[in-house]
A and B are shown apart, each in its own frame.
Chain A
Amino acid sequence: MNAADMPVLSIMLAIPIVAAALCLFVRAELARPIALGATLANFILGVVLWISYDPAGAQWQFTESAQLFGPIGWKLGIDGISLTLIMLSVFLMPICIGASWNSIQKRVGEYMAAFLLMETLMIGVFAAQDLLLFYIFFEAGLIPMYLIIGIWGGQDRIYASYKFFLYTLLGSVVMLIAMLWMIQFAGTADIPTLLNTDFPVQAQTLLWLAFFASFAVKMPMWPVHTWLPDAHVQAPTAGSVILAGVLLKMGGYGFLRFSLPMFPEASANFIPLVFGLSMVAVVYTSLVALVQQDMKKLIAYSSVAHMAIVTVGLFTFNQQGIEGAIIVMLSHGLVSGALFLCVGVIYDRLHTREISRYGGISVNMPKYALLFMLFTMASVGLPGTSGFVGEFLSLAGAYKVSTWATLIATTGIILGAGYMLYLYRRIAFGPQVNADAAAMQDIDGREMWLLAPIAVVVLWMGVYPETFLAPIRRDVATIVERIERAAPAGDSKLMVVDPTTARFRVAHEPKKDVAEGSH
């Protein structure tokens, strides 16, 4: 049940491409089912991938290798981290297609083709095992996203599409030079080999900065986040879902796959920078979110705040922090995707994103209000939802490194509760001042099918996160082991104990516990 039998990853890359080509030549009524069928087929393949992935097996599974393009190797393979992110992509894609079913009426075939192309590129980013192949997938995503925002976006779509494209392109090109240097140095573009290559410490600094330029924009980190609110607001609903759900995760994935294990020393040196920017981001963008009048903009700013918790978690250099960061990425992918869908649902009815145009809609849309409430709570990080698990783990990990950073970053949760609940109150509760908002129909079957699966997974991840932690645990441990030599000392002076047996005695007898725990 592995690559020897069937090149699963190549098939997953090929299905959307073929479907995209088909969509270009058929009429709208046919393009929609083709796109839905292709994304569902990929989702099923993703489930197969998940089931047959062996968390205790080789580090890289489902590997494929072919020298098709000279120096660019067609090398694919996934570890647990890639697996979870690929799952996120293939899970969100059918939902995106469903979300666009009625709201997109012009140039449907091209729209579906762009989304399917996007899916291929997203899977490619997470599955590529060749540095150049990774770069190609990583950058190529700009083209379909540029078209999606520019053709099917809102009022200011052209400005937003340009800003999105040029910002991310400028971030990435310098990374390409760094990649070329690395390939020269190591003599190979093979990512697993590069992961165990020790680059000279001085070179690491420049390489790290070059990669940082790209991933920080993609993530996005303050102060290069400004493309995100524009892109989100102008993109069609499904575009926002895919942007928030998966594209932002490429930045986090990049930090995890490249910056940390390839440049451990540089990463350690730049912890103050990353933590500093993240702290600013959490507080600043949360405050900005608090005063937004536009629903999508509010969620976009909350994305920046959540991504800042991811960066804090990633640069903790310990298991908890990194695992937490990955769970925040997954959770945020689902929750912000769902929130954008929620916005899309009422936008389709009233054609405005202005918060004040709604109010009291829990009266006429009870089912919608319930789901919206669930996702709001998940975004806040209520225990029992996915948001809590990730944020708790990454902040717990961060505490070991910097208590100050943890303190500031944790205020993000409080502020998050502030702006999300305020948003919810203004939309769902209060008097029904707007007659047209009060007359809106509750969600129909199609919308239920879009939101309910996400709700289930959000709760699943919140109640039993082990399902999602199991595949990544060993791979995170590998990274932690790799970067251990550069790990920062930390200012909280925690004692290392065996957590399974000595859990409750830490505070009292920290020193002896290690020995006693071995009984």
Chain B
Amino acid sequence: MELTASLSLVRSEIILSFSALALLLLAAWMDQAGRLISILAVAALGAAAAFTASSLGSGASASAFDGLMVNDAFGNFSKLLIYIAAAVSLTIAPRFLEKAGAMRAEYPVLIVLSCIGMGIMVSATDLISLYIGLELQSLSAYVLASFVRSDGRSAEAGLKYFVLGGLASGMLLFGASLVYGFAGSTSFAAIGLAMDKEVGLGLIFGIVFILSGLAFKISAAPFHMWTPDVYEGAPTPVTAFFASAPKVAAIALLMRIVLEAFGSQVLVWQQIIIAVALMSIIIGAVGAIGQQNLKRLMAYSSINNVGFILIGLATGTEQGIAAMLVYLTIYVAMTLGGFVCLMQLKDKDGTYREEFADIAGLSKTRPALAAAFAIFMFSLAGIPPLFGFWGKLVVFNAAVAAGLLPLAVIGIAASVIGAFYYLKVVKVMYFDDAADVIAESDDKVLVWTGGILAAANSPLGYFAIPVLGVWTAVAAKALF
């Protein structure tokens, strides 16, 4: 009885687990069926998304497996976002991987496995289940990074990611063991109770290590060094995936552990989050200025954006959490859009291009692509009326409401530095003379995905604000 109830609460993970295994079997028989398996994997993600979406608006919360996991609005919202982002990363990939000779059936299977891990991450309420989810996600990600085996950069990216990710996991585990030792439990709720009274040095150390490990996973400064290298080296569709779904999962996990386990001692972690947020914003902005490679630029952009998202967490309020979820949603749309545009940068021989020099004067040769790219850049910079502005607005609004005025002022002033390099992309595409290296895109899937994401980032996105507001508010409530 207890078990069946628990199993029904994790039904989306179960669907994905069975799908992953079935697809793996299928792949064993049909070696060259990468495309078919991709389609089936998208369908499985769609089914899982439908299950989570059905319980999205409700504030109901139920604990599974004796408090190891929870099925609540927060987890469901995050999962929905993760599944959608993963499905998009799957949809845009085939052409690219075929060109690289790597469209093997493992790609969709690994993404689905990673999604299971992420689903566990966002609904974990215990340090043990947290770690299981995190490792399932990470291990799939290491393989994905080096998926194009023949490409040295890809292999290097995978290795770097693996070594540094392993280090981060180690730090997280060390912190978790300290917290367990001093709080006497691995359950978030019990840790929360233990922290109610007083916080000793051991617990603080544990918290610092856990936050450091998670900062690695969300590529927040000062643990961001791996990001540009891995983003540049990994195959572009995989980079798009890294920049979206796992980031959502790790940030959601961070939110849950910080608020449910350490929530009673805001002052202990708030300063860490503030420092990490500001460092990420500034390093993400300044580091991007000199980049010549667009994928590295997007990597710094993601560091920068994580900083803004963390401002919401620094408030430690329900409003701040809702704001983070809004920002995350918009961020996923922006960053996926950016990568979809990058993937359309192919020259006449079909080679993928990713340097600034290649997109010079793009607006003359490929006006629609340039316009879409410009929309994503202005949106990432947070310039109204594009939808990215709304994300920044809600986050800063939460910071102002929580009385963190200096943080808000410094953060928003630093966003102007970021605007500089986003503008540079637009400048190169619109103001420079045409280099004319980019050929017409022959991939209709990319064109359509890019178009839909551009529309979502345009002012049309504002029509989503009411429904997004309700969902994120309900989700944020689940953490308090």
Contact = CB atoms under 8 A, between A and B. Distances in A.
Q: Do the two chains bind?
A: yes
B423 A162 contact: yes
Interface of A: 67-72, 107, 110, 132, 135-137, 139-140, 142-143, 146-147, 150-151, 157-158, 161-162, 165-166, 169-170, 173-174, 176-177, 180-181, 183-184
Q: Which residue of A70, A157, A166 has the most chain B CB atoms within 10 A of its CB atom?
A: A70
A68 B462 contact: yes
B384 interface: yes
A158 B396 CA distance: 31
Q: Which residue of B423, B463, B468 has the most chain A CB atoms within 10 A of its CB atom?
A: B423
A70 B413 contact: no
Given A72-B465, A161-B431, A139 B383 contact: yes
Interface in B354-404: 363-364, 367, 378, 383-385, 389, 393, 396-397, 400-401
Interface of B: 363-364, 367, 378, 383-385, 389, 393, 396-397, 400-401, 405, 408-409, 412-413, 415-416, 419-420, 423, 426-427, 430-431, 462-463, 465-466, 468-469
Contact of A136 (B378, B389, B427): B389
Contacts, number: 89
B466 A69 contact: yes
Contacts of B423: 146, 162, 165-166
A69 B462 contact: yes
Contacts of A147: 426, 430
A184 B415 CA distance: 22
A71 B465 contact: yes
A158 B427 contact: yes
29 contacts: A68-B463, A70-B465, A70-B468, A70-B469, A72-B465, A107-B364, A135-B384, A136-B389, A139-B383, A139-B384, A139-B389, A140-B384, A140-B385, A146-B426, A150-B427, A151-B431, A158-B431, A162-B427, A166-B420, A166-B423, A169-B416, A173-B415, A174-B409, A176-B393, A177-B396, A177-B400, A180-B393, A181-B400, A181-B405
B384 A180 contact: no
B383 A170 contact: no
B430 A151 contact: yes
B431 A69 contact: no
A-B residue pairs, 3 tightest by C-beta? A70-B465, A136-B384, A69-B462
B412 A177 contact: yes
Contacts of A166: 416, 419-420, 423
Contacts of A137: 385
Contacts of B431: 150-151, 157-158, 161
Given A71-B469, A136-B389, A161-B431, A143 B383 contact: yes
A147 B462 CA distance: 23
Given A173-B413, A174-B412, A143 B378 contact: yes
B396 A136 contact: no
A211 B383 CA distance: 18
Contacts of B462: 68-69, 72
B413 A174 contact: yes
B413 A180 contact: no
Contacts of A162: 420, 423, 427
A163 to B, nearest CB: 11
Q: Which residue of A71, A165, A166, A173 has the most chain B CB atoms within 10 A of its CB atom?
A: A173
Contacts of A173: 412-413, 415-416
